Chains A and B, each alone.
Chain A
Amino acid sequence: MIADSFVPGKGILYRFDPRMKLLCLLFVVLAFFIESSLPVKAGLLAIFVLLTGTSLGAGKAAVPFKLIWPILVLTAILTPPFNLGGEVLLSLKGRPVLTSDGLEAAAAMLLRFSGITAAFFLFFSTTETSAFILALRSFGLPYKAALTVTISLRYIPDMFRVYGNISDAHKLRSAGIMQGGRRRGFQRRLAHLFPVLISVLIQAVKSIPALAMALDSKGFGRQNPRTSCRKLPHWSAIKPDIAGAAAVIALTAFVIVLL
């Protein structure tokens, strides 16, 4: 179990500095919110689909949209009734159902949500979690906060294993008496869930003092200089990445202002 959505690869986006990638992501998300021109939004979305296809493979370009298609359908259906200005395009029993403003608002929402989804998908597919946390650290995230996130990520697979072991043990204990159809199976699952959750929580809570002691014995809280297993390159070593990020941001801003 890996608690991220990183897809290993070697494309240009993998080599791009995570700090610059994070800045570009924030700017693009902001652009999707402030931009009102539909062609610009559609253009940005097309760029992200193209980048996803070239970085992760053509098959991956559709993945984010497979995950969000229900909300896209809902947005398309439910946005127009809340925007009834403009020319009436469709009416039902004399009441306007679809207007030009409603259609435009739905298209804007669809492009915005699709664009943000594609941008986040591309970022987390091409950025390792450790690089993401290091990028946050270099932008001022405190050491203790970064350590907490790192330990959490380290413990997630352990907690999944604990849940699996306890769940299997509970199933084994009740295997002989639990017979029945699908409905009984669902009821049985619900009835068995809470004892499993209680056992998982007790196991988890009991591991807290042990983890605290391990942190203490590893020297947590000492004042002497700390070493790091992995570091991001110094700012001076990523000048091409900084220039690239600046170009992307400037170009997007220019297009937004121009159109």
Chain B
Amino acid sequence: MKDNLQKHNASGRIAAIAIMTAVTMVFTYVVRIPIAPTRGYINLGDVAVFFTAFTFGPFTALISGGLGPAIADIAAGYSQWAPITFAAHGLQGFAAALIIRAMGTRKVAEPLAGLAGMIVMVGLYLLGGVFMVGFGAAVVEVPMNILQNAVGIVGGFVLSHAVRKAYPPVSRLAW
């Protein structure tokens, strides 16, 4: 019985990560606004990353949050950014979800989680950008990344609450 439960948990986790990776990739790819100079466009990928963090927990957010935008980068021809994207967005979701988990249902949990995710993502892109294109060009992207994160936090929060209300069993998929 215990083996069956563990087996089902493993398949459920893989299914959740795979589906949310596909969703994150689609969100990154579908709505693209060509503003950010260094990566070509800003997108709704962060909405999906924060939605996953608020709804599914740290591990799903870490893997699907990293993989989805990285696959989108490869598909869009920006594969040189894929390793940095994987780390930045994966850790962004992981940090946000960890804070949600630690703070529970407190009102400040989601804004704080969003802020932590934003700091991690913007910081890692800045660091990666400094190595790839130099400080001057990397720093230009910071305001756009902050804007993209702000949209992601608000969007992820609204979507998470809406989906949990419309489909309550989603809470059981968190781990």
Which residue numbers of A lie inside 8 Å of B, CB to CB?
2-5, 33, 63-64, 67, 70-71, 74-75, 77-79, 81-82, 105-106, 109, 112-113, 116-117, 119-121, 123-124, 144, 147-149, 151-153, 155-156, 158-160, 163, 193-194, 197-198, 200-202, 204-209, 211-213, 215-216, 220-221
From known contacts A4-B74, A124-B79, infer whether A71 and B159 are also in contact, taking CB-CB under 8 Å. no
**A119 nearest CB neighbor, chain B only:** B80
A212 touching B26, Cβ below 8 Å: no
Q: What's the nearest-Cβ distance from chain A to residue B1, in Å?
A: 14
Report if B109 contacts A (CB, 8 A): no
From known contacts A152-B22, A201-B163, infer whether A109 and B16 are also in contact, taking CB-CB under 8 Å. no
A5 touching B158, Cβ below 8 Å: no
Q: How far, in whole Å, are A206 and B169 apart by their CA atoms in the complex? A: 9
11 pairs from A and B in contact (CB 8 Å cutoff): A4-B75, A33-B131, A82-B135, A113-B133, A148-B17, A152-B67, A156-B22, A159-B26, A160-B30, A198-B163, A204-B22
Q: What's the nearest-Cβ distance from chain A to residue B47, in Å?
A: 7
From known contacts A33-B131, A67-B40, infer whether A82 and B136 are also in contact, taking CB-CB under 8 Å. yes
Q: What's the nearest-Cβ distance from chain B to residue A171, in Å?
A: 14
Chain A residues in 8 Å Cβ range of B173:
205, 208
B8 touching A216, Cβ below 8 Å: yes
Main secondary structure of the interface of A (DSSP, over half): helix
Report if B115 contacts A (CB, 8 A): no
**A149 nearest CB neighbor, chain B only:** B67
Option from A109, A201, A220 in Cβ contact (under 8 Å) with B133: A109
- The winner among A106, A158, A204 for most chain B CB atoms within 10 A is A204
Chain A residues in 8 Å Cβ range of B158:
194
B38 touching A5, Cβ below 8 Å: no
Report if B27 contacts A (CB, 8 A): yes
Option from A64, A119, A155 in Cβ contact (under 8 Å) with B19: A155
Report if B140 contacts A (CB, 8 A): yes
B18 touching A155, Cβ below 8 Å: yes
Q: How far, in whole Å, are A116 and B81 apart by their CA atoms in the complex? A: 10
A155 touching B22, Cβ below 8 Å: yes
Q: A-B pairs with the 6 shortest C-beta distances?
A: A78-B136, A151-B18, A152-B21, A211-B15, A155-B22, A221-B7
A215 touching B26, Cβ below 8 Å: no
Interface residues on B, range: 35 or more
Option from B10, B18, B136 in Cβ contact (under 8 Å) with A74: B136
Q: What's the nearest-Cβ distance from chain A to residue B79, in Å?
A: 4
Main secondary structure of the interface of B (DSSP, over half): helix
From known contacts A156-B71, A163-B30, A216-B7, infer whether A204 and B133 are also in contact, taking CB-CB under 8 Å. no
**B30 nearest CB neighbor, chain A only:** A163
1/0 contact trace for B136-158 toward A, CB 8 Å? 11011000000000000001001
Report if B103 contacts A (CB, 8 A): no
Q: How far, in whole Å, are A113 and B38 apart by their CA atoms in the complex? A: 11
Option from B18, B44, B133 in Cβ contact (under 8 Å) with A71: B133
B22 touching A158, Cβ below 8 Å: yes
Q: How far, in whole Å, are A228 and B29 apart by their CA atoms in the complex? A: 31
B137 touching A208, Cβ below 8 Å: no
- The winner among B64, B75, B139, B140 for most chain A CB atoms within 10 A is B75
A207 touching B37, Cβ below 8 Å: no
Chain A residues in 8 Å Cβ range of B16:
208, 212
Q: What's the nearest-Cβ distance from chain B to residue A96, in Å?
A: 15
B132 touching A116, Cβ below 8 Å: yes
1/0 contact trace for B38-76 toward A, CB 8 Å? 101000100100010000000000011001100100110
B167 touching A121, Cβ below 8 Å: no
A148 touching B80, Cβ below 8 Å: no
B163 touching A116, Cβ below 8 Å: no
